[in-house]
Amino acid sequence: MKKTLIASAIAAATFSGAVAAQESNLPTVYGNIQYAITHTNVDGGGSAVDHFDNGTTLGVKHDHEIAPGITGFLKMELEGINADDKAASSGIDKLDEAYIGVKGDSFGQVWVGSDDSTYESAIDKIVNFHEVGTGIGGNYDTGEGDLVQYMSPSFGGLKLGAAVQVNGDSKEGGKSYPYQLAAIYSIDALELAVAMDSNDGSLKYSKDGDVPAELSPNNENTYGVRATYAMGDFSLTGEFQTRKDVGDEYGVIGVYTMGANQFSLAYQLTEADNADSTQEDVVALQALHNVSDNMYVYFEGYLYGNDAADAYTLESGAGDEQSIAAIGGVYYF
C-alpha cells in the first residue's frame, strides 16, 4: 500500500515536473490592436479626416539556454492586419520583424534577419517615439531586412554595434553589402551615441517595408549623433544627422512622466542639400494616459511648415503649412 502511494507520488511529481519544464519552454505570444483618428488641415488645400489601423501586430518570441551563460533567441512579429476595416483586410500580410540569434554576458549578442537596424536604434529616436509619427527621419538607406547585427557587452558603459545588409546577386538592384557602425556610451543619467551608415548599393531600401525600393540618391555616408539626459521623471534628447548632397536633420524632444500620464514636446528641422536649401520643420506634442497595464490612449498634435509652396497636398489643393490632430487607443498583451 505504502509502496503504491510512494510510486504514485513519484510518478505525479515527475509528470508535473515534465509539464512545468515543457511550459517553461513554450514561446511567448504577444500582440496589440491599435486604432487612430486624424484630422489633417493644409493651408489652402482643405482638410481631411481618417480612421485607420496604426500598426496592429501579432508576434511570438522565445529563448532557451544553449550552454551556461549562452542563450539562443528568436522573434517574429507580423502586421498588416488592417484591424479598422474588415472588408479591406486580407489577414496578416506583412512582416515587421523576424530574427534569430545568440547572446551571452561575455560576448554580447549577434542576430540575423529583419529588425530595427543598428543605426536606427542608436540615433533615429524622435521619428520612432510618437504613435502616429512625424514622418521625419534620417537620410539613411540601409533597411531592416537581410541584416547581420552585433552588439557588444558593456565595457565600463561603452557598447559597440555593427550591422551589414547582405544583398546577394538575386536581390533587386544587384549585389551590395551596406554596413553600419555605432558606439553608445552611458554614464549615470547621460547616454551618448554616434553612428554611421555606408549607404552602399544602388537602391534605397525602405526602413519599414511600406515603400518599395527606389534609387538611392548617392553612396555618401550618413552620420548621426544623439545625446539623452534623464532626470527622474524627465528626459531630454537631442539628435543630429547629416548626409552629403542629401541633407541634414536636427531634432530635440523632452518627455515628462507623471504617474500614469506621459507628456512630450518635440521639434525637428530638415534642410535639403540643394540649391535652395529647402527646409521643413515640425512641432509635435503628445499627451498619453495609461488606462491600465494593458491599455493606453493618447492625443498628438503636429504643426508642419515647408519652404516649398506645394509641399502638402489634399484633394482640394496644396500648401506650405499643415496641421494634424490625432487621437488613438492601444490594447496590448
Q: What is the pLDDT of residues 149-165, one digit of tens each?
A: 999 999 999 999 999 99
Q: Where are the domains of the chain?
A: 32-332
Q: Is the pLDDT of residue 204 over 90?
A: no
- pLDDT on residue 35: 98
- pLDDT on residue 93: 84
CA angle 205, 209, 210 (to 5 degrees): 115
Four-point Cα dihedral 173, 80, 312, 140, nearest 10: -40
CATH number of 32-332: 2.40.160.10
Mean pLDDT of 264-288: 96
Q: Is the pLDDT of residue 11 over 80?
A: no
- pLDDT on residue 1: 44
* Mean pLDDT computed over every residue of the chain: 91
Q: Are 224 and 239 in contact (CB under 8 A)?
A: yes
CA proximity to 122, closest of 190, 179, 180, 193: 193
- pLDDT on residue 107: 95
Mean pLDDT of 63-73: 96
How many angstroms from the chain centroid is the CA of residue 64? 25
- pLDDT on residue 4: 46
CA proximity to 149, closest of 195, 113, 188: 113
- pLDDT on residue 98: 97
Lowest-confidence segment of 31-35, 78-82, 116-120, 202-206 by average pLDDT: 202-206
% the chain with pLDDT above 70: 91
pLDDT band at 5 (very low <50, low <70, confident <90, very high): very low
- pLDDT on residue 68: 95
**Where does residue 209 fall: left (phi above 0), alpha (psi -120 to 50 degrees), or beta otherwise?**
left
How many angstroms from the chain centroid is the CA of residue 225? 17
Q: Is the pLDDT of residue 209 over 80?
A: no
Lowest-confidence segment of 4-13, 15-24, 61-70, 252-261 by average pLDDT: 4-13
Q: What is the pLDDT of residues 47-57, one digit of tens each?
A: 999 999 999 99
Instruction: Give the separation between CA 206 and CA 202, rounded to whole angstroms.
Output: 13
- Predicted TM-score (pTM) of this structure: 0.90
End-to-end distance of the chain based on CA atoms, in angstroms? 48
Q: What is the pLDDT of residues 76-123, one digit of tens each?
A: 999 989 999 988 888 888 899 999 999 999 999 999 999 999 999 999
- pLDDT on residue 22: 58
Lowest-confidence segment of 5-9, 141-145, 187-191 by average pLDDT: 5-9
pLDDT band at 184 (very low <50, low <70, confident <90, very high): very high
CA proximity to 315, closest of 109, 42, 81, 119: 42
pLDDT band at 205 (very low <50, low <70, confident <90, very high): confident
String of DSSP letters for 193-205: EEEEE---SSEE-
